[in-house]
Amino acid sequence: MRILVIEDETKVGCFIRRALEEESYAVDLCEDGAKGLEMALHTNYDLLIVDLMLPSLSGLDILKGVRQAKIQTPILILTAQSQIDQRVKGLDAGADDYLTKPFAIDELLARIRALLRRGSTESPGVLQIDDLALNPATREVTRGSQRIDLTLKEYALLEYLMRHTGRVLTRPMISEHVWNQDFDTFTNVIDVYVNYLRNKIDRGHSKKLIHTIRGSGYMLKVD
């Protein structure tokens, strides 16, 4: 899952990014409203976190610009405790939820999970294909009775694959949702991580779940 955070307070933005990356999210951070809107319009994010008080372009203007472009990405707005009128305007402009500063990181993460569930066609519970199961709430992955330990990036990649079971996922699609804007698309990092997953998910099992679609990308399906 890839998230754009538009927040002009450097410490707050870095705090949010660090917390989200520890939860396996790919995060792009922008401190300027106009640039943030441009990024939101040209990159397929899974979620936007937007502070309402921004330089060059307000959070409200970003909301309006995104919704006018018919982009339905979930948006969480950040506001000061006293900005009740701004919260109302933000929700009316197309925001899906809001959080007042200062906030507890656990509440931010819970609201993010709720928004991502709303925007997903998957059920909010455990993701499963055959005997492979992933629980987004506990971040536990099992195959049969065996628990599988994954790194943060391996987990993020597997979750993306499992949310799109049966679909061919190209390398650009994977990089766009699992890695951030600093990712070098000319490397073989995606292939390397898919192999890491294969070693942990498919090795020792006669039924393979991770498949290479030659010339296209990868697919998670029952062999």
Query: So what's the architecture of 2-118 in CATH?
Result: 3-Layer(aba) Sandwich (3.40)
Contact 78, 211 (CB under 8 A): no
Angle at CA 11, nearest 5°, toward 103 and 156?
75
- Give the tens place of pLDDT for each residue, 137-176: 788 999 999 999 999 999 999 999 998 999 999 998 998 8
- Give the tens place of pLDDT for each residue, 167-209: 999 998 998 889 887 777 778 999 999 999 999 999 989 999 9
Instruction: Kindly calculate the radius of gyration of the chain based on its CA atoms and give it in whole angstroms.
Output: 18
CB neighbours of residue 118 within 10 Å: 11
Q: Is 210 helix (H, G, I), strand (E, B) or coil?
A: strand
Question: Where does the pLDDT of residue 120 fall: very low under 50, low under 70, confident under 90, or very high at 90 and above?
Answer: low
Q: Where are the domains of the chain?
A: 2-118, 127-220
State the average pLDDT for the chain: 91
- Give the tens place of pLDDT for each residue, 31-65: 999 999 999 999 989 999 999 989 889 999 999 99
Residue 210: per-residue pLDDT = 96
% of the chain beyond a pLDDT of 70? 96
% of the chain beyond a pLDDT of 90? 70
Residue 124: per-residue pLDDT = 53
In the numeric block, the tokens 């959080």 are attached to 99
Query: So what's the architecture of 127-220 in CATH?
Result: Orthogonal Bundle (1.10)
